[in-house]
Amino acid sequence: MNTTLLKTFVTVVNKKSLSLAAQELHITQPAVSKHISALEEYFSTGLIERRGRRVSLTPAGEILYNYANKILNILTKAENDIRELSSTVKGRLVIAASSIPGHYILPYIIGEFKKKYPEVLISLHISDSKNVLKLLLDETAHLGAVGEKPDNKKLNWINFFTDELVVITPPDHPFANRNSITLEELSSERLIWREPGSGTRSVLEKKLSQSGLSFDDLNIVMEMGSTGAVVNAVEAGLGISIVSEWAIQKEKQLKKIEALKISNVNMKRELFLTYPKKRYQNRVVQAFLEFVKSYHYALPSQ
């Protein structure tokens, strides 16, 4: 049997959609339908049921899905074991990252990694933390980088960087020339916040809550879908916010943003590299994890 048909079938089941499977496999939707039909003809039974744009498995489909996953995983492991006979680390590495590690930290690490392993092709996809974990569990990405420890038993993780959150204001704000503000002063300000699903938002709200300031005490006037949008809104004078210190290096240098701390609140946080526990880690993934664990890097000021 052609294993391409099994791969198509598994992708359709994982994506729960023929069109999404076609996008993932870079083939047409009619080709996906043809692959499924060929499998159903081979087994002389229906494997999936179409309900609008969504699909679900028949009892026969559930059996095939379980075996197809095992077959494809065994083939992948065989290919990886054979490739690892070579001393050269090469291949493709897909990393999904939330805003802060994706925009401001990983590009430097990837740059250094590529100097050591130039034959590795790395794809970096930036999304919110919630979607990063979804991409890992869907096996669309090999590694994920997030700003909060993943709370999922299917994932492993390692600390790979320490970040600090700071209050940012426009240069003409009354707080601009100060080193710090109190929680009470923060709660009285118009605040610009990240959207739900953001790792930065989740960590930030936990830290403020632990310090006695609940979400209901905050005067949030606007929610933004990216850290860059938050910084731009603060620069435009729409309010103040709290973001990673790495997100404002350029704006600080140009005197467009001022940064200060919150009195008596530890705003440091760890960033995490996470990966599926049961997924086979190929040589490229292992090399990247080992590189991150052993390499001491410093980010240059912008």
pLDDT tens sequence across 27-74: 999 999 999 999 999 999 999 998 777 888 999 999 999 999 999 999
Q: How far is CA 68 from the centre of its chain?
A: 27
- How crowded is residue 174: how many other Cβ atoms within 10 Å of its Cβ? 10
- Those residues with Cβ within 8 angstroms of residue 245's Cβ, 6 or more apart along the chain or in another chain: 163, 164, 165, 166, 259
Q: Are residues 26 and 96 in the same domain?
A: no
Same domain assignment for residues 209 and 112: no
Query: For residue 285, is it within any domain?
Result: yes
Q: Do 154 and 282 share a domain, yes or no?
A: yes
In a domain, 101, yes or no: yes
**Can you say whether the dihedral through the CA atoms of 157, 143, 3, 77 is positive or negative?**
negative
Question: At 161, is the pLDDT very low, low, confident or very high (cuts 50, 70, 90)?
Answer: confident
Is there a single domain that holds both residue 179 and residue 251? yes
Span 217-227, average pLDDT: 92
User: CA gyration radius for the chain?
Assistant: 23
pLDDT bracket for residue 238 (50, 70, 90): very high
Residue 299 is assigned to a structural domain of this protein: no
Q: Answer whether residue 222 shows pLDDT above 60.
A: yes
302, part of any domain = no
**Predicted confidence band at 84 (pLDDT cuts at 50, 70, 90)?**
low
Q: Is there a domain that residue 300 lies in?
A: no
Domain total for the chain?
3
DSSP string, 145-194: EESS----TTEEEEEEEEEEEEEEE-TTSTTTT-SEE-HHHHHTSEEEEE
Q: What is residue 50's predicted lDDT score, i.e. its pLDDT?
A: 83
For residues 41 and 170, membership in a common domain is answered with no
Domain that holds residue 218: 162-269
Same domain? 153 vs 280:
yes
pLDDT of residue 217 exceeding 70, the answer is: yes
Residue 84 or residue 247, greater confidence: 247
User: Residue 197 — very low, low, confident or very high, per pLDDT cuts 50/70/90?
Assistant: confident
At 263, list the tokens.
Answer: 């009195």
User: 77 pLDDT exceeds 90?
Assistant: no
